[in-house]
Chains A and B, each alone.
Chain A
Amino acid sequence: MTSGDRVIEVEGLTRRFGTFRAVDSISFHVDRGEVFGFLGANGAGKSTTIRILCGLLAPTSGRGHVLSYDVATEIERVKPHVGYMSQKFSLYPDLTVAENLEFFGGAYRVPRARLAERIPRTVAEAGLAGKERLLAGGLASGFKQRLALGAALLHEPELLFLDEPTAGVAPLARRAFWDLIRGLAARGTTVFVTSHYMDEVESCDRIALMSRGRIVALDTPDGLKRDPRVAAAGFESPTLEDVFVALMGPEARP
């Protein structure tokens, strides 16, 4: 790691699928304890970036380091310290709530005794008390999402990747979910989250705006609003939505 506080460090990271550049030479870093937001339309390259950083996809070129390990060659050393919640519910639908948690806890090598403490707490935090023996596939989408988050946190990762965690979730539940994310960050977990809801990324420490595989702007929410390009576009006291329109044009709006 170049600096003890850099949890993610990315330089010129590129991923091509055939001739299509899903991620096109992006560079950024994420500091310990930050809530870092990736905002962009579908297909902007947000999921591809997360998948590269989790080891699910290999980068085509450029460098990516997570917890000081190279994601291209040392990803197995990264995995024990990272949690990942994919866009689509991907726990086992035919296993119960408790079985899913036991499985993923074991897969992350959480010691048995520790797991025995963690599972009831996770169940309670996800609001699933009394539902431990229900099949995960039968839960309502809000509960599925809370369960998936719980499964990703069983091993108490230093870094949590959330890919569109609130897609398809009711507004009230979305708000509750972001409270959870902020709570995690307050306890020292670094959170890397993608979204295409502008209102919710407002509470990130820093935001990268992504369009067509590139990072168009990267700053704190306030910093983005003060971007001269936004004022030049004629916005006074702009919202994040205005920033988006000013920097990327209305067609790139998420």
Chain B
Amino acid sequence: MIRRIALLAAKETRHILRDFRTVYLALGIPLVLLLLFGYALSMDIDDIPTLVVDGDRTSASRDVVSAFERTGFFELVGRADNAAAAEGAFRSGEAKVVIVIPPGLGRALARGEAARIQILADGTDANTAAIAVGYGAALAQRRTMDLTVDALSRLGVPAAKAPRVAIDVRSRNWFNPTLESRWYMVPGLIAVIMAMMSALLMSLTVAREWERGTMEQLLVTPVRPAEIVIGKLVPYFVIGLLQLALITAAGAALFGVPLRGSVPSLFAISGVFLVGALGQGLLVSIATRQQQLAMQVALLTSMLPALLLSGFMSPIASMPVVVQHITRIVPARYFLVVLRDLFLKGSPLSAMWPEIAALAIFAVLMLVACASRFKTRMDA
């Protein structure tokens, strides 16, 4: 049994090493994805191109504009005379945000009356728009407080004694103090990449033997389905762990993503996830017997759930309730939680046993399905 598994694993390893495309695919794609997601899909927003329409042109209005600029989130790209210019600026892409200060702001503030400013955002980029408007509102609130203090001091209340009657929120983000989106993106990306690559590479293996005709010669030998299944999994399991090491190292080197948990824990839990992901690809390969079809089915059934239903792109809590229930059968969902906890919180594995149990159940189910679906006859 062990001898034949070793034999099959050695044979499979030779297939991989002699078809170098597999190696490129296995190690190249994770790096490309890491760079793509890390650089292009960064959710951190700064230097939003901003157009200013200052209809007031007083020192008060200039204070407002420079307050926006000082945050670092807004970059002044131009000025216009009236708000009608906003549409042109949005259409040309020159600006994503327009700050409109109507005439009379300075006067209103001087009189101690409420003043208005308007923030227009290009809603086609909903994410940037929402963040820009949020920043704007927070900024206005802070200015309001400063102005209140100024107003009181003019009434004779010393600044030090002026009551700050606003709720002063002081927030701290634990584990990721500067809310680096890459810090939670990279651990999530490990789940996506491993789910996708494992299924993709594995889906070709059995189908390739059917297409080449070598399966016929293999099936007349007394090897057992379980031996074939395990023998085929082993080399791809090693590749999966190499991918994990590669992404973790590249994530640390390029984006400073910390790994606060232990390395053995990371590899142990990833191993459990890998068996399930590889088994899923193998099952597709066993069922389809055609490389093209197997590859497409494997990609669809691994990448889409891992990207969309795992909590990688958007939090599961914000999905419709029905979809939330569906995510329970997506192994990447559990792996993602474990990875973020391991990387950022440094939690011990003992704190994650429900997720580990879910991953282990999926892995066992996949292995059993592969071994029982594997037919030793040519009849489909």
Contacts and interface: CB of A to CB of B under 8 A. Distances in A.
Interface in A104-123: 104, 106-109
A82 interface: yes
Contacts of A109: 4, 222
Nearest to B16: A94
A84 B378 CA distance: 15
A107 B14 contact: no
Contacts of B7: 102-103, 106-107
Contact of A80 (B219, B222, B378): B222
Contact of A86 (B14, B217, B222, B379): B217
B213 interface: yes
B3 A55 contact: no
B319 interface: no
Interface in A122-153: 135, 151
Interface in B200-222: 212-214, 216-222
Contact of B376 (A55, A106, A151): A55
B202 to A, nearest CB: 18
B216 A86 contact: yes
Nearest to A80: B222
A58 B377 CA distance: 7
Interface string B216-230: 111111110000000
B378 A104 contact: no
Nearest to A107: B221
A47 to B, nearest CB: 10
A243 interface: no
Interface string A89-105: 11111110001001110
Interface in B330-380: 376-379
B3 A106 contact: yes
Give the one of A54, A95, A106 with max B CB within 10 A: A106
A186 interface: no
Nearest to A17: B379
Interface residues of A, number: 31
B214 A56 contact: no
A88 interface: yes
Nearest to A95: B14
Contacts of A102: 7
Interface in A66-97: 75-76, 79-80, 82, 84, 86, 88-95
Contacts of A57: 377-379
Contacts of B223: 107
Given A55-B220, A56-B216, A90-B213, A95 B11 contact: yes
A75 B213 CA distance: 20
Nearest to B219: A56
A208 B259 CA distance: 71
Contacts of A135: 18
Given A55-B377, A57-B379, A107-B4, A91 B217 contact: yes
A56 B214 CA distance: 13
A76 B377 CA distance: 11
Interface residues of B, number: 23
Contact of A99 (B14, B213, B218, B379): B14
Contacts of A80: 222
A51 interface: yes
Contacts of B222: 76, 79-80, 107-109
Interface in A33-69: 51, 54-58
Given A99-B14, A107-B4, A55 B219 contact: yes
A82 B11 contact: no
A51 B378 CA distance: 9
Nearest to A135: B18
B220 A54 contact: yes
B168 interface: no
A91 B214 contact: yes
A151 B4 CA distance: 16
Interface string B251-282: 00000000000000000000000000000000
Nearest to B3: A106
Contacts of B328: none
B6 to A, nearest CB: 9
A95 B4 CA distance: 17
A92 B19 CA distance: 13
Nearest to B222: A79
B213 A58 contact: no
Contacts of A86: 213, 216-217
18 contacts: A55-B219, A55-B220, A57-B378, A79-B220, A79-B221, A80-B222, A90-B214, A91-B217, A94-B15, A102-B7, A103-B7, A104-B217, A106-B3, A106-B7, A107-B221, A107-B222, A109-B4, A109-B222
Given A84-B217, A94-B14, A103-B11, 8 more contacts: A54-B220, A57-B379, A88-B213, A90-B212, A90-B214, A106-B4, A107-B223, A109-B222
Going nearest first, the 8 A-B pairs with the smallest beta carbon separation are A107-B221, A90-B217, A106-B7, A90-B213, A84-B220, A79-B222, A94-B18, A56-B378
Interface of A: 51, 54-58, 75-76, 79-80, 82, 84, 86, 88-95, 99, 102-104, 106-109, 135, 151
